[in-house]
Amino acid sequence: MTVSLRPNDLSAFWMPYTANRSFKANPRLLARADGMHYYTPEGREILDGTAGLWCVNAGHGRREIAEAIKRQADAMDFAPTFQMGHPLAFEAAAALAAFLPDHLPYVFWTNSGSEAADTALKIALAYHRARGEGHRVRLVGRERGYHGSGFGGMSVGGIVANRRQFGVHLPFVDHLPHTHLPQVNRFARGQPEHGAERADALEELVRLHGDTIAAVIVEPVAGSTGVLVPPKGYLAKLREICTRHGILLIFDEVITGFSRLGAPFAADRFGVRPDILTMAKGLTNAAVPMGAVAVTAEVHDAIVHGSASAIELFHGYTYSGHPLACAAAIAAIAIHREEDLAGRVRNLEPVWRARVHELDSATGVVDVRDIGLIAGIELAPREGRPGERGAAVLQRCFDWGLLVRVTADTVALSPPLIVERSQIDRMVETLDRAIRAEPS
Ligand code: PLP
C-alpha cells in the first residue's frame, strides 16, 4: 500500500508529545509493519528498536491477533459493560488474571495506561474509605516517574516538562526522590548496587504526613524518563515500608509488563507483591487500545463487599472491556504463553547486556543502563542545548533504517521480544555509528 501526502495534509493532526512544526517540516512516516520491521510509505525498511512505543512486544502483524479482532468485529462490534456484559470481557479478564501474579485475581478494564493510572489511584482512595480510613487521601509518586497524561497520572508523575505547562495538579500529592545515582552506579549492568536507601524517603513522608497517605505509585523500571533500573533491594524496601504503614503499593507496569523483563511482570521478576498493578501497551500487543488494573482480593473485597451501595465503584469507561480489545488481549496473552516470550527474554538478556554495554566506550556516552530487553544510552548534551544531540541521533538512526526513541539526550531501546541476535547486532552497530557521527 502506498500513501501519498502533500505537505499541507499533515497540518490537521495536532500530534501528541511531538515538536509539531519541526516534525511537519521533516516528517518521519511509517505506513506498514511486519515482524521486526516498519516500512515507510516509500517502502524503506526500518528495524523496530522500540516495539512501536514499548508496546508491540510479540512483534508486528501477528496474524492470530488480527484474526481474533476480525472475528469479533463480525460477531459483535460493541456491547456495554455498565450493567450489561459480554462473554469476552469475562474471558479476557480470566485469561489475564491467570497470567498475572497469583495474588492479583481481579481485573478492571480501561483503554490506556493513563486511564489505568487514574483508575488505580481512585481504587486506592475508595479502598481506604470503604475501610473507614477516609483520612488517607494523599498519593505519593516519584521524581522522574511517568504515569500518563490524565490529571491523576500527571500529578503523581515526576517528569518536570509534563507538569510545568499546566500549573494545577491534584492536591495532596507528594513525591519520593528518583533512584538515578550516576556517581556510584554509572554503566551498571542490570540492577545497580547502590540506592536501596532512597526508599527510606517514604519513612520521612510518613513522618511528615502521618497516616494520611493512601498509596505509593512507581514504575518498577522507569521508562519514559530515560530508563532507570531499580537499585537492588529498593522495591522490596518500598514494599516493606508501605506494609508497615498501611499504604497501598501500586506498580505501574505499562512498560514492564508482558514479558519485557524476562518474566510476565516486573512483580514476578523482582519478587515484590504490589497491591495494585496497572498495565496497557503489550496487553493487546498494541493492536487495539486497552489498559487494565489488577488488584488483590483484599483491595477488591474491601470495596465490593464493604460498599453500602448497589454499585460498588462509581468509575468506568464506555469502552471498558471493549469486545475488539478483549479479543486482541486473549490472543496476545496466548502468544506470550505459547511462545514463552519471557523465557526468550531471559535467554537473550546476557547477549543484549553485553552488546549494549559495548556502547559504554563511545565518545559522548555518559551512562548505559539495561534490564530485560530494555536499554537506556545516555549521551552528554550539546553545550547549552539539551535534547539536540538525542534528536540528531534519532534522525540519523531513522535515516539508516533503525527506529529508536529518545527522551532528551537518552536513547531508549526496547525491541519486540521476537528480536533475533543478528538484529540486536544491527541495532547496536547502527546506534554506535549514529552516536560517533556527532560532530565534536
Ligand atoms: N504509565 C507508564 C509507565 C507509561 O510508560 C505510559 C506510557 O508510556 C503510561 C502510563 C501511559 O499510557 P498511555 O499512553 O497508554 O495512556
CATH of the domain at 400: 3.90.1150.10
Residue 344 class from Cβ within 10 Å (0-12 exposed, 13-18 middle, 19+ buried)?
middle
How far away, in angstroms, is 133 Cα from ligand 1 center?
A: 29
Residues 20 and 101 in one domain: no
Residue nearest to atom 1 of ligand 1 (CA): 147
Q: In the structure grid, which three cell numbers stand for residue 159, read together?
A: 517528569
Longest distance between any two alpha carbons in the chain, whole Å: 67
| Residue 1 placed within a domain | no
Residues 332 and 349 in one domain: no
254 lines ligand 1 (CB under 6 A): yes
Confidence band, pLDDT 50/70/90 cuts, at residue 176: very high
113 lines ligand 1 (CB under 6 A): yes
| Residue 344 placed within a domain | yes
CB 393 within 8 A of CB 411: yes
Confidence band, pLDDT 50/70/90 cuts, at residue 1: low
* Structural domain ending residue among the three candidates 320, 338, 356: 338
255 lines ligand 1 (CB under 6 A): yes
The whole domain housing 344 covers: 7-58+340-436
| Residue 292 placed within a domain | yes
pLDDT at 163: 94
* Cα 291 to Cα 297: distance, rounded to the nearest angstrom: 20
| Residue 298 placed within a domain | yes
What phi-psi label fits residue 58: left (phi over 0), alpha (psi between -120 and 50 degrees) or beta? alpha
* Structural domain ending residue among the three candidates 323, 338, 353: 338
416 lines ligand 1 (CB under 6 A): no
pLDDT at 7: 55
pLDDT at 83: 96
308 has a pLDDT exceeding 90: no
3-state secondary structure of 12: coil
Residues 247-296: tens digit of each pLDDT:
999 999 999 999 999 999 999 999 999 999 999 999 999 999 999 999 99
51 lines ligand 1 (CB under 6 A): no
Residues 123-133: tens digit of each pLDDT:
999 999 999 99
Ligand 1 atom having least distance to the Cα of 278: 1
How far away, in angstroms, is 210 Cα from ligand 1 center?
A: 30
pLDDT at 277: 99
Element (H, E) at 413: strand 410-413
Interval 379-399 mean pLDDT: 96
Residues 397-424: tens digit of each pLDDT:
999 999 999 999 999 999 999 999 999 9
∠240-142-171 over CA atoms, to 5°?
Answer: 105
Ligand 1, pocket-test mutation among 109, 118, 146, most atoms within 8 A of CB? 146
Query: In total, how many domains does the chain have?
Result: 2
Residues 389 and 429 in one domain: yes
∠375-252-397 over CA atoms, to 5°?
Answer: 30
- Establish how many alpha carbons lie within 13 A of residue 246's alpha carbon, considering only the half-sphere containing its beta carbon: 15
Residues 136 and 267 in one domain: yes
